[in-house]
Structure 1
Amino acid sequence: MADSGMSSAEEIERRVAQYLRGEVSFQEFDAFRQERGIQSFVQLAPQPGTSTGGLTGVGQTGRLLPTMGEGGGAAAPSYNDDSDDDDYLDNDDSAKRGDDSDEDDENEEEMEVVEEEGSSTTNPVDTSLTAKYLEGKLSFSEFAELMEQEENDGKETPKPAAAEPSKKGVDISEAFSLELALEQEERKGRKRPKRRRINEVPKPLRGLMGEANLRFARGKYDDAIKMCMEVIRQVPHCYEPFSTAAMVYEEKGDMERSLQFALIAAHLNPQDPEEWVKLAEVSLEQNNISQAITCYKKALRYDPNNIGILWEQANLLEQTQEPRKALEGYQQILKLLPEKEGNKYMDLMRDMSKTYHATGETETAIETMQAAFTKHPTLVTFEDVNMLTELYITMKQYRHVLEAMSSYCSVQLSWQGGVTDTMAALDRLGMPDTGQQETQVMQCTIPPETPIDLSIKLAVSLVHLRYLGAAKPLVDMLLQESAEDMGDLYLDIAEAYVDVGEYDSARPILAMLVNTDRYNLAAVWLRYAECLNALGKTEHAVQSYAKVVEMAPSHLGARLSLSALQQQLGRPEEALQALSEGAPAAMPTAVETAAEVSSQPGPDVQLLHHKSTLLYSQGRMEDFLDSSLLMLSKYFEEAYQQQNLQLVVTKLTSRRRKYQLNALRDEPGGTRQGRHVVDLSGKLSSISKLEWWDLLCKASRCLARLGRTEEVEHLTMAALASPQFEKDAAKQKELKYMVLSACCLNKNYRMAYFFVRPMIMENTEVNQLWNVFCQITTSSEDARHHRFCLRLMIKNQNNIALSFLNGHNSLISGTYKHALGEYVRAYRLDPGNPMSLLLIGVTFFHMASQKYTIKRHFVLVQGMSFLNEYLIQRGETQEAYYNVGRALHQLGLEHLAIHYYQKALHMNPPDVGDTKYSYLLDLRREIAYNLALIYSNSGSKNLAKLLLDQYCVV
């Protein structure tokens, strides 16, 4: 029988699935239903199951179960309890009482309802989050935040679109509506189903919930908790089991667990703000401030105008270092406070204004005080006005100071034009500045009970508004007081005079302050020195600045000003001393090792920069280098410390250089393996990039002039390897030229060749680069450049410099025919160039000097013809005659060589206009020596000695 029932149920499920998929029409499906006598396809009245097995149908899967006719299916299991019948009756009575309460609540607006006979609605509580919270993996604040996010996501989820029609054209929604129409007559006679809240325990579980409450009342706490957990398992969206469990745990003394369940119950039934306040107080007892803040936040959601809750929440926010959020709460309190609580309003306003000012929101502080003054003008005190005017002065709103003083302190302004009304006078303050303010204000009258600090704030505002005449009586009143007692007010008015350039008025006030005991401070002396300097009293200003440096050695501005004044007075040593005091006694040089460096703090970078500039202007290069290298080594610190900088700078791109630099640094001992860098105080960014570049160029030139070529090479390489100038393409290019020059000076021709090669490839027409290239290749005695020149010639066949270089390389190698070809190429490119004629003639002479040369005389004649052409183009010059004579001397034609040597010997060197280097172009010593060799070989010893004594002996 059971098998037939199961097969019958499976058949019904199969037909239902076919109908829902549209495989059968509604007519066919309805005929099948009538044939089987099926009343409904939903189990409408599930019965409670056993205490261990839970309930069938409620809180489980949404599977459709047919309700069969007689013997149509298995009956639902019954609930068996080992308690007596009285307990069960009590449960039934409680269930009935629950039904009555449901009927009373059925018309409430905030009630979300479901039919009692229907299936459970969607569960609004994420059971996984609840489990994590109960296990202590989440705090309640996090739990509440996550639940709110899920609720918001659920609200924003769009409604599903209407179902598409089935294959046979039947809409599923239409089919269900037809089925409901068939049963409409039967439903008319039924009683309207009761409605309940979605977060209340459903009727099938009320008996179990009542049993749990009964067990709790009888002191059977463990059984009550088990029953509550069973209800929670099946309907986790109901608050009642959580609330009961919280009370059970509280009776057991487990307050932490009780609070957890109570918080979940409150979250499921959040409309009671008093419950949230109670939970907040319990959280505070457990020293959980963040959880208490969350509880107060929940309470304010349902009672936003509760001043007490707002106050408690704001106080807690202040304790958690969240002043901005606390101030938002206090602002809400100010709006809600009644008129009769004006004193409380003003006290809160004062605290808020101080907090706003401390957090940098001075404008908001002013707005808060203005609102309070407007709402409770009779409660405004002098202290309040003092605070407001101080905020106005901070924001440089001096006109508002006068407005506040006139409104709340009875200050009156009278004008020369006959205007005695104070407000009208204040309106004139807003008029354009005509430069006649000094004569407009005639008198400023203040009540005698006005505190002196308010009077001085009024005077400060008048001074800044350039109404000096009106401010003078107030200042005179202050000067009658003791500077020892009123020094802060003295300083306020003096600074106001200094700010507007009234140094004559500020000087006597500052002089009185510096002679007191309490205000004999560096800040006051600094103001006094600035005032004296502005008045042209340089000597007195120097003394005042020296006093500031003595009292505050680390004050940078005072040192710089003192140094500038000493330099202005013609005291360079004192100027340097002003920049050096307070620095380490023995400054280490940039090349000293770590063991030699003092443990004292390094000098300030700005002081060091000014000192370097001063030393450079005085021409003290050694001292300048000591200071500048300290700064530059720190600026290029990461690269300057490395010894193997050549491995870094040989990388073509800045990215590769940075990678190589990091690789060297990561090597064992790589960070400090090279030169030591002294730590400096102050920010390197306080000096601009342009100033750093200027300092680098000056230091490089000085090192080169002093012959410290190794240091200049290391410095320029460190600058190139450092990322400081990598984003400036122009400076990167100039740095490469600086490194090239430094390598040439240090005779590091291998590195110089590496840098000059790409420069040559980019600028093949620049003769200066070719000259440097020739100097490098000649000095290095390396043949690597031969193939480079040949490959470059393929791309630049019309380059004369390349033709000469390839010809020179071939000439040195002894391949004269190849050299002759390159020289002829150069001659064809520039026939008027005497250099190519000379080189072609010399090459022919070399070929004629070879042992196995055929047609030697023909080669000599060709060589002489080119030399004669060279002589014609160069003209009668010492150089031309010497070159021809030297060529004939090599061939052994000494009688002809003597002729050209003597002509060259009696000619003056070329006039280059620079007598310092003109001796380099004078060939008479070389000519005399060659002639002496010829005379000596021919036996004319005396003539040879005469030439040597005349031209070659120093």
Structure 2
Amino acid sequence: MEADPDLLRWSSSKPSNNDTNDPRPSQPVTAEESDQALSEESISLLSSEDDSLEGEIYEEEDYEGDDDYVNQNYDDDAVLSRIARKSRRPGFSHGYDDDSVRRVPRRGPLKPVEPTAEFKNLQSEATSAFIDADYDRALDLVKQAIHLNPEIFQAHVLLSEIFLAQGQKRKALYALFTGAHTRRKPEVWLEVANLILERADSDRAAALDDVVYCYSRVIDIDPKRYDVRFERAAINEELGYKGKAIQEYEKILESLPHNTNALRPLAALYIELGEIGKARAHYERCISYYINLNPDEVEDFTWSDVNIYVELFSYEHDYLAGISSLNSLARWLLGRKGDSGWDMVDDDREWDADDYPRRTATPWFVPGQYPLESYGIGLPLELRIKLGIYRLKSGYKDEALFHFHWLEPEDNSPGAKLFDYGDLFREAADSMKDIQLYEDALRFYIPLQHVQDFANTSLFLAMAECYDSCGDTEETERCYLTVAEYDKTNIEARTKLAHFYEKMGMTDQALKFITEAADIGREEVLSRRKPRFGPNIGKLANHFRDIEQEAPGSEDQLAPTESAVSSAVGDNTAAEGSTTIGFIPRSVTSLPGEQRGREIAPLKPDGENVRYLYAKMLELQPYMRQGQQDATGDWLDIAYALLWDFRSNRVFFPLQKKMTFLGYSREAQRKAGRLKSTNLLDELQEISNRIQASMGTPEIDTSSIPNDYHGIDFDSWLDIFLEYALVLSGQGQGDEAYDTLGAAADASIWYHSKPSTLRIYICWFTCALRLKDEDKLSDISRWFMKEYQFVTDAYRLFVTLSRVCGNPQRSLFHSAPSMKFMLRQVKAVDYSLPPDPLSPFKRSPESIYQERASLTTKNAEGEYIPAEEMDVALLVLYGHILYAGNSFTNALNYFFRAYALDPENPAILLSIGLSYISHSLKRQSDNRHYLVMEGLSFMQEYRRIRSQSSILQERQEVEFNFARVWQLLGIGHLAVEGYQKCLKIGEEIETERQKAQNPNTVEGATVGEQRGEACLEDFSRQAAPS
């Protein structure tokens, strides 16, 4: 049995590529040792907490517990070294001399180990606990089972299902990976791949990467699984890894030459990459093989392959060679391989439908020698149109039109070829338009107006061009107006219309469409604009300096501008210590003075240009905030260049996030990963640093750490990051805005600052609100609840953000991940509070597994902060999440817990009453009358509490909610009475508001009379607060 080193090293690094040919030779080991190593490795994979891939996955931020699952360390190097030592020996010596019999160990996989009785019991109990949704107990039991028999794949599958039920998809995935490594069986890896595909949600690309890894393991085990190779090639192509897909198809063709299933996608990939010669070479090798066989014996090579091969000639504009190849291959497939005399004829009479008149005029033609179906009737229509296009490109117009007429463009009956071959109509028409055969092209364009799939803007634009060239102004205008009416963002149609009306002398109409085209173009530029100079600070600064010099009075204003720069950013140049100034080319000194100054400007130090651009950005900022487009464009250009410079400095983005910012020195850059040791002195310095670290952390002089970059303080840099993201989000560029905020959050100068991080995440959810991105809002809300755990306002923020965005019918508010996350928050409070002061006989029995709080917030000393008391808002929030998911009975559990803590809270009383009433309307309710009465009793208590208030809005709320309950129960007359009371109280509220605004209001005047206008019906205050 061959033990793949990659397989044994899988816990340390998962291969990032898809190459299945490991350049390192595999080491031979015995079957027993290999299986033992794999079993031990599987346990290590499930429990290691090192820098391995699984370690990173199991440290997922949403995962709150189970340290016992990751608290073991397994020495992978020891395993590999033991295997390497044993693999250097050809066999195992049993202490005999050379003349004695030497036993050779049996090779191949061992038989599956029979599971022990203890394993079966643990597996059964774990399965039962999983079915009962007791995931913590199921997790503990299945881990015990895996430690007993790690080679049994079903236990790993159960572990994966438990993680999946807890919402930890990545851990579920790698539990499957771990189980698959225990046995070298292709079926196991294929099952894992299928499970990954079934569980793939929005992140399909990541799932496909994992599937490719599974397929690679299958191919390692069985290189002849060509079906898996096809699947892996297709996935690589979908992921955009075209080079890897090509390699895969090439390998398939090495083992299965002339396989057209691999040849077709390979040719398509080569066409996409522009390597037409390679595609032709592959097809020509395939054709040279098949053409010597009888067409009846060939099933793989079909008309589709002929079409693909002939299409390759069009990319090289070799149309005559394409015609010749098409004719010869068509003859072979139609059974006329030896009838090659037609190659000497300049026309296509060979493909006429009838022998008469053209074929019979050929001297060597013998009527009846071959069936009539082997001539023109047998040629597929797709290849006939391609033959016509090639003839047209070669100058044979009459032959081309003859082929195109087979489409019968005048036939518009229900069974016409138009409805089956619309793409051929379009190809033929486009080819004729390209060589200015406009009238002939219109014969094929016009019928396409009646085919829905082809009646698009490009068709009408092409028709308008043809009509315009034919002088038909009325139809030209109709086609352009059709495009302008149905495509509100089409600039080309409006531009063409403007030219058309200008030519016709209709100036007003021309100006109208010029204005529309300009407005659309401006909107596209604002939404998709790219910085004019990219990250080049020197060119951008030089651009603005040129503008200032060309402006009137620039000589007088130049000095104040420079002084303003100095005052705005200070004179600190600490960040420029490592900046390299390039030499001035000799040719520059010979230029005139003005031009030489412009050439030298970009060679100024980056720090000076940065400070100049920052001052310019502050100057443009008020105009940008007012919405001026030109100022906004310039401001974005400057901000982009400044942030690029900041993000390019690796000092701010160390490889380890725990490192704090220490300055711009060489040592600080080396620690951040920007510089590496290049000589012995650096090595000695590293050794010294390690020794000092082992002796204790030296004191750092905080006063020596700079608080600016290029003379601009870090708070101002953060302002640039945040405002740049806000402006981008306002223009709909969400990805770039999120990327900017992510960079700010990762910068070491703000990563360790809680106030700065808070500002970044506030800006983050503000951008998400502008973009109406519910997924991002949910993620940011979770961050606030983790960083500010047990803070009531964090939970209220989650509720608020869930209400302002998203579809209520499928909102993330009551999604499974949100439900599980909030349940962990409730458990964290439960298990961090002191035990209840109850007598022992009233306490519930202790669980066989240990529960612990999932704490996430730390104080200044780095200690976790436990909850001091139960949060009523958290209980009500989780109850409403369950209520939104129609789990009314479960919601009542948490509403009653909140009720016990705050019995006179009207929101809790209303929630309990609605839960009872809503559950009574379900089909499964066993005692509907009891549930309705319970709900109404809590509603009456809710009315009693609210009635104690003198605020009219609260009285109105009670009437509205009661009217809704009556309507829900089908008691219409009571609902109408409640809505009428609600509207009456609304008038009282409006009257009081008018009195507060105008104390001189005449008593008895109605609201409408006070306003002096008709009273508008306003229902904005009739909605009950949530």
| Structure showing greater relative contact order (alpha-carbon pairs closer than 8 Å, 6 or more residues apart) | 2
Tell me the TM-score normalized by structure 2.
0.32
User: What TM-score results when the alignment is normalised by the length of structure 1?
Assistant: 0.34
